[in-house]
Amino acid sequence: DTGVSQNPRHKITKRGQNVTFRCDPISEHNRLYWYRQTLGQGPEFLTYFQNEAQLEKSRLLSDRFSAERPKGSFSTLEIQRTEQGDSAMYLCASRGDSANEKLFFGSGTQLSVL
Amino acid sequence: GESVGLHLPTLSVQEGDNSIINCAYSNSASDYFIWYKQESGKGPQFIIDIRSNMDKRQGQRVTVLLNKTVKHLSLQIAATQPGDSAVYFCAESGSGNTPLVFGKGTRLSVIA
């Protein structure tokens, strides 16, 4: 499978715990995006990378959230001191650099904070 | 500010009929529009896209129409099939590589 891969698919954690999600983009894609989606809503942009550089962060990305893409390939999204309001689907997407490149999504990581 | 929305939260159609899903956007500077299909438990799947220099684009069984005058986007699905049942999102972005902004989605149910 050469699509966007996300792990784990599901994560259940207790409030206050830290969690980390991983995204492996399509191999030739330089741009990698993180979105969050709650039930019944469209995906909301969190942050994106061009290679290893984090170019934009949404105001939704609180201080408890941090994303990295150290080698310009896979990315991790960490949430510290999770809260029940963090429960959502976390989607990763990737695309190439040119203006006509389409954005391809992974299947997401479903986070449930108890 | 930037926002994208949909007129109807749900749409039911008979198998074999054509479906039309509508979307309104507010950012007149939007340059790129895209429709995604999302099935339960999966990430959004690309359907079709269109740039602001076009008003119509066709794919396989799908057509996207863009009316920049009234800032309206629609997705037409011909001969709707049970496998088309899903939530459909429109999304838009400004010029360059600005991140996509998504609407809330329309749930399409196909009645066999």
Of B41, B42, B44, the CB nearest to A43: B44
pLDDT category, B94, cuts 50, 70, 90? confident
pLDDT category, B96, cuts 50, 70, 90? low
pLDDT attached to residue B1:
35
* Contact: B43, A48; criterion CB under 8 Å: no
The stretch A74-93 carries a mean pLDDT of 97
pLDDT attached to residue A7:
97
Q: Collect contacts of A49-56 with beta carbons under 8 A, ≥24 apart.
A: A49/A75, A50/A97, A56/B99
* Contact: B104, A31; criterion CB under 8 Å: no
pLDDT attached to residue A72:
87
| Minimum CA–CA partner of B33 in chain A | A102
Spatial neighbors of B65 by CB under 8 A, at least 6 apart, are: B55, B56, B73, B74, B76
Residues of B in contact with A98 (CB under 8 A): none
**Cα-based distances in Å from B111 to B11, B22, B36, B108:** 11, 20, 21, 10
pLDDT attached to residue A86:
97
pLDDT attached to residue B81:
96
In this predicted structure, the answer to whether residue B87 has a pLDDT above a threshold of 90 is yes
Q: Is B94 on the interface with A (CB under 8 A)?
A: no
Could you read off the pLDDT of A49-80 as tens digits, one per residue? 999 999 999 988 899 999 999 988 999 999 99
Residues of B in contact with A33 (CB under 8 A): 99
In three-state secondary structure terms, A32 is strand
pLDDT attached to residue B2:
39
pLDDT attached to residue A40:
85
Q: Which of B20, B46, B69, B66 is nearest to A100 (CA)?
A: B46
Q: Which two tokens stand for residue A22?
A: 């991983």
pLDDT attached to residue B5:
54
Could you read off the pLDDT of A28-56 as tens digits, one per residue? 899 999 999 998 899 999 999 999 999 99
In this predicted structure, the answer to whether residue B79 has a pLDDT above a threshold of 60 is yes
pLDDT attached to residue A16:
97
Q: Give the closest-approach CA distance of B74 to chain A in angstroms.
A: 17
In three-state secondary structure terms, B83 is helix
Q: Is A48 on the interface with B (CB under 8 A)?
A: yes
